[in-house]
Amino acid sequence: MRPILFQIWRIPVFSYGFLLAVAFVVGTILGVKEAKRRGINPDKIIDLALYTCIAGIVGARVLFILLDIPTYFQDPVKIINLRDGGLSFQGGLALAILVGIWFARREKLNAWVLADIAAPIIPLGYALVRVGCLLNGCCYGLPTSVPWALASKAGDQTLRHPTQVYAALLSLAIFAILFRLRNHKRFPGYLMFLYVGLYSVSRFIVEIFRDVPRMVGPLSITQLASIVVAFGAFACIAILSSENVQHQQSGQVVGRE
């Protein structure tokens, strides 16, 4: 672990924040390239990236606090302390999507097309941030004796499941899938629905090995939420795909007439 990655004139640069910044820069560059490929003004993507980055951090922090609100009632100063990670990805993603929809409407852009541009980029950025989690010693796993166990909790040398690595690898796999499907012929927004579904499945898997409170039997609150979100995402894909097929078939019939 290395919470402080390096120093600049004795000013510490924290690993988590640095990797978060790298994820933002990489994501913006890829988003601009994909926008150009699709004939969209890249300046709009840069503006969108700034808005969604801020929204993502705010949403992630708010949900993280709400999930552990008694702790923050006892020590409100912790609310503005992000050195321990302290971000819930689901909250950040939800608020970023809402802000993205608002931005698309304001700029008169197709929100679903923007969602398809963003979908492959999100898991790549998420993988980078999870590397930051590993260096920071947060989001750690349960104690274990597996050969690849690491001391992945800050201030604790206990060997644990490196769930940060699990999450990063699964996210890279999702990125590969979505990137390969970026030229899909399905309905607009398909990649975003697919990402949400795949991420929920991967998060459910990672939570099995994470050192988190269990709410219902062996399930954590995040796993319960992942089940609901995954079901909703894949249900939307099935419904919208069916409607898209029917629309294409009706268009072919009209064309023949």
- State how many domains the chain has: 1
Q: For residue 228, is it within any domain?
A: no
Q: For residue 206, is it within any domain?
A: no
Q: For residue 189, is it within any domain?
A: no
Q: For residue 237, is it within any domain?
A: no
Q: Based on C-alpha coordinates, what's the Rg of the chain?
A: 20
Q: For residue 170, is it within any domain?
A: yes
Q: For residue 178, is it within any domain?
A: yes
Domain span including residue 31: 4-183
Q: What are phi and psi of 212, to 5 degrees?
A: -135, 160
Pair 52, 17: CB distance under 8 Å: no
Q: How far apart are alpha carbons 99 and 113 in whole angstroms?
A: 15
Q: How far apart are alpha carbons 164 and 141 in whole angstroms?
A: 8
Residues 6+ apart with CB under 8 A from 173: 202
Is residue 89 over pLDDT 80? Answer: no
Mean pLDDT of the chain, nearest integer: 86
Specify the pTM: 0.85
Q: For residue 140, is it within any domain?
A: yes
Q: For residue 138, is it within any domain?
A: yes
First to last CA, the chain: 68
pLDDT tens per residue, range 3-45: 787 788 888 888 888 898 899 999 999 999 999 998 888 899 9
Q: How far apart are alpha carbons 147 and 47 in whole angstroms?
A: 45
| The residue to which tokens 């609150």 are assigned | 221
